[in-house]
Every structure is written in C-alpha cells, then in structure tokens.
C-alpha cells in the first residue's frame, strides 16, 4: 500500500491520474495538493476519494507537514503553469511555480525523507518533451539522451525544474524519476490548449485561429496512456532515470484541426439534437466546421516539430500507447459533447451543476 501526494491533482493530467490511480490501485491513499489557479478545478476530482488540500507547492512547511502527517511515500509532481502562450505574455509566474515550486517540493522531500534514517520514497517529476527544443523535418525523434534546448519561457522553466530534480538525486540521494511526455489530450483539459479550444469554438461558431501555416508537428498522447506510462515508471523505472512517453501519433496541426472539423460535422449529422443545443455552430447552419478556420500571426519562437522515440520506455517498462489518435480523439469529442456543463462551468467559474448532475454531491 502506497500513500501518494499528487501535486496539481485538480488540473487536467493530475485529475485524470487521480481517477486512473484510484481505479487501478484502490488500496492506496492519495492526497491532492493544488492551489487552484485558473487551470485547477475541484470539479475535475468529483467522485474521487482523494483528500484535497488547497495549498501552494511553494509553501515548504505545508508540504513537510503533509509528508510527515500523512506518511507520504510517493510524490507525483504535476503542479505547474503549463501553457506556452501564457508564458510568452507572463514568464515570471512560470519561474515562480515551475522552478521555485519544484525547489520547494524537493527541499521538503529531502528534509522529511532523508534526514536521520532514510525512509523508502519516490519523487516522480512530470515534465515535457518541449525541454528538448524543436526538430527539423528529418531529425531523429527526441530521446532521453537528446540535449536540452528549451525555446519558450514555459519549456525553459520545465528544463530548469528537470535539472533540479536530477541534482537532488545525484547530490543528496533523493530517489527520483522523471518522465518527459508529448502533447496530451482527453477529458478535463482546460479550453486554452488546441483541441478543447477548437472544439468549444466550433460549437459556438467562433473562429478557429491557426498559428502561422499550421504545419507545426506535435506527437499526440491520450491522457490515459500518459497515466499508464507514469504508473509504469513508478513501478518499473530505474531511480535517477528519465523516460520519454509518447503517443505514437506525430501529426501536423492542420491534420488535427481538419480531423476535428470533420468529426464535429459527422457528430451533428448523426445527432440532430446537437443543432438545437449549439445553434451557433457552423454545422448547425449547414456550413462545414472547416469554414471557421482562420490563419493568425504565428506564436513567437513557435517550435516546429516535436517527436518521441520511446525505445527506453518500451524496452524497460513495457510501455506502449494503447490509443491511436483516431480512437482517442473520437472518445475526447464524445466526452466534451457529453459534459457541456463541465466546460461551461470551467469557462464561467461555476462547477456546481455539473458536479451535482454527475455525482449527486454538492
């Protein structure tokens, strides 16, 4: 039986991880530590048994107290500022949370787990493939040995946090692992990232703003596969190592966007109630969703291509993504159509109705 502290557990991936872990490991306990920024929502954890503490990872004394009082033996660290566009407009928050926040957690972990007789423990750090920079069209995919070359304030802050985690292992003997994953998608993703933003804009008949030529390439990872990957690292990963976790779905943005537009059209054609629920949608007015596409000024410093070589994860952990993009995207579209009150609540800051309807709790 393990006792987990999940930081950022009310955000997109953290919440999916809590739900996944509670299903797979019902005997374990989970404490979520989340300060609830704009991206964190209690509703994401509705139905979860996890204890919820609203607090900041930069509060080292708070974290020390939680680790001691709750006998925590495993930290899974998701808490971060996570959106590249926000990092361009306001980089300081990314240094505060991603760098100083990770330092605070490491400090607390070291003081509770390593002072006196060392306790069995694991500190797992969730990071991104963006720390490796940008690939040319024919470059080999990122692997654990690719040199770091972060290009955005977001990826620079995550790179710094990765280095801190590595140093706490080498210098102090903290038992750490790190995973660097590709672009996640799935339920509970805040509608500022490409897929949920474009889905919700499409349902409102709003423009779909494509940065630059739309030929930037990302590897798309269904969030549940990511959770399985982290589980594999926790159970089978070598302490001190990093693992690249990918979705095996390298696609140009324009292909993702065209898939999304066609899927929305097909959903409206198959279910006539959607036109009543979303009368502003192009698909409700006899126009293709793709007619909403517009080209906007490119993101400054926009990375051209990310790709993951997951040989290490496959060989050492037996990890392989279970969902291809077609099935993962179809499930994601169905989730957003079926959970309208969730995303409306996220957008207007009120989640009560969605929680009450889905979980009969208040």
Structure tokens at 315: 């060989």
User: For 250, phi and psi rounded to 5 degrees?
Assistant: -80, 115
Number of other residues whose CB lies within 10 A of the CB of residue 198:
25
| 293 makes contact with ligand TYD (CB under 6 A) | no
Greatest Cα pair distance in the chain:
70
Helices (H), 173-306: 194-203, 223-236, 253-270, 273-277
Q: How far is the CB of 211 from ligand TYD (least distance, A)?
A: 4
Provide the Cα torsion 218, 220, 225, 227; round to 10°: 60
Residue nearest to ligand NAD (CB): 11
Residue 154 known to be catalytic: yes
| 193 makes contact with ligand TYD (CB under 6 A) | yes
Which of the following is catalytic: 130, 162, 265, 310? 130
Which of the following is catalytic: 56, 81, 129, 219? 129
Residue 359 known to be catalytic: no
Q: Which of 218, 226, 228, 305 binds ligand TYD (CB under 6 A)?
A: 218
Cβ pair 6, 45 in contact under 8 A: no
Distance from C-alpha of 102 to C-alpha of 78, rounded to nearest angstrom: 10
| 194 makes contact with ligand TYD (CB under 6 A) | yes
Encoded one letter per residue, x for contact with ligand TYD by CB under 6 A and - for no contact, window 78-97 reads: ------x-------------
Angstrom distances, CA of residue 57 to CA of 63, 108, 273? 7, 10, 44
Distance from C-alpha of 13 to C-alpha of 265, rounded to nearest angstrom: 28
Q: How far is the CB of 343 from ligand NAD (least distance, A)?
A: 13
Distance from C-alpha of 85 to C-alpha of 100, rounded to nearest angstrom: 20
Q: How far is the CB of 320 from ligand TYD (least distance, A)?
A: 22
- Of the pair 122, 267, the CB lying nearest ligand NAD is at 122
* Residues at the interface with ligand NAD (CB under 6 A): 7-8, 10-14, 33-37, 39-40, 56-58, 78-80, 82, 97, 101, 126, 128, 158, 181, 183-184, 190
- Of the pair 211, 335, the CB lying nearest ligand TYD is at 211
Count of chain residues binding ligand TYD (CB under 6 A): 12
Among 197, 203, 212, 199, which Cα is nearest to 294's? 212
Structure tokens at 215: 């030929």
Which of the following is catalytic: 34, 56, 132, 154? 154
Number of other residues whose CB lies within 10 A of the CB of residue 361:
9
- Of the pair 128, 341, the CB lying nearest ligand TYD is at 128
| 226 makes contact with ligand TYD (CB under 6 A) | no
Cβ pair 270, 334 in contact under 8 A: no
- Of the pair 220, 319, the CB lying nearest ligand TYD is at 220
Residue 225 known to be catalytic: no
Scanning the structure block, which residue is given the tokens 């605070």? 104
Query: Quick one: what does residue 126 bind among ligand NAD, ligand TYD, none, with the CB cut-off 5 to 8 Å set by partner type?
Result: ligand NAD
Angstrom distances, CA of residue 139 to CA of 176, 182, 217, 294, 308? 30, 16, 13, 30, 11
Number of residues in the chain? 362
Angstrom distances, CA of residue 340 to CA of 15, 34, 75, 211, 254? 18, 24, 32, 26, 25
- Of the pair 205, 246, the CB lying nearest ligand NAD is at 246
- Of the pair 77, 205, the CB lying nearest ligand NAD is at 77
User: Which residues lie across from 218 on neighbouring strands?
Assistant: 251
| 210 makes contact with ligand TYD (CB under 6 A) | yes
Query: Quick one: what does residue 211 bind among ligand TYD, ligand NAD, none, with the CB cut-off 5 to 8 Å set by partner type?
Result: ligand TYD
Choose one: 47-55, 206-214, 232-240, 265-273; the region binding ligand TYD (CB under 6 A).
206-214
| 211 makes contact with ligand TYD (CB under 6 A) | yes
| 197 makes contact with ligand TYD (CB under 6 A) | yes
- Of the pair 3, 206, the CB lying nearest ligand TYD is at 206
Strands 176-181 and 183-185: unpaired
Q: Which residues bind ligand TYD (CB under 6 A)?
A: 84, 183, 193-194, 197, 209-211, 216, 218, 253, 299
Residues taking part in catalysis: 129-130, 154
């Amino acid at each position: 039986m393990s006792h987990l502290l999940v930081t950022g557990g009310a955000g997109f991936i953290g919440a999916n991880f809590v739900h996944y872990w509670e299903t797979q490991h019902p005997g374990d306990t989970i404490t979520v530590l989340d300060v609830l920024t704009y991206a964190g929502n209690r509703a994401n954890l509705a139905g979860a048994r996890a204890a919820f503490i609203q607090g900041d990872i930069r509060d080292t004394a708070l974290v020390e107290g939680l680790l001691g009082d709750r006998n925590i033996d495993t930290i899974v660290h998701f808490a971060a500022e996570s959106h590249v566009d926000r990092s361009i407009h306001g980089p300081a928050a990314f240094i505060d949370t991603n760098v100083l926040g990770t330092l605070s957690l490491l400090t607390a972990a070291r003081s509770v787990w390593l002072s006196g007789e060392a306790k069995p423990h694991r500190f797992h750090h969730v990071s991104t493939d963006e720390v490796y920079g940008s690939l040319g069209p024919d470059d080999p995919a990122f692997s654990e040995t690719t040199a770091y070359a972060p290009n955005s304030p977001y990826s620079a802050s995550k790179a710094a946090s990765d280095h801190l985690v590595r140093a706490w292992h080498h210098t102090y003997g903290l038992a750490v692992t790190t995973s660097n994953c590709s672009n996640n998608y799935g339920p509970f993703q805040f509608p500022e990232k490409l897929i949920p933003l474009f889905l919700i804009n499409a349902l409102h008949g709003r423009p779909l703003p494509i940065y630059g030529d739309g030929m930037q390439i990302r590897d798309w990872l269904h969030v549940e596969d990511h959770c399985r990957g982290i589980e594999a690292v926790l159970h089978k990963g070598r302490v001190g190592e990093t693992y690249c976790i990918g979705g095996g779905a390298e696609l140009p943005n324009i292909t993702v966007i065209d898939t999304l537009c066609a899927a929305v059209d097909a959903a409206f054609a198959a279910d006539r109630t959607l036109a009543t629920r979303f009368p502003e949608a192009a698909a409700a007015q006899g126009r293709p969703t793709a007619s909403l596409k517009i080209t906007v000024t490119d993101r400054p410093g926009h990375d051209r291509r990310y790709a993951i070589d997951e040989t290490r994860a496959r060989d050492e952990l037996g990890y392989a993504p279970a969902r291809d993009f077609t099935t993962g995207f179809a499930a994601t579209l169905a989730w957003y159509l079926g959970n309208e009150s969730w995303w409306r609540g996220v957008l207007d800051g009120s989640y009560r109705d969605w929680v009450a309807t889905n979980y009969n709790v208040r």
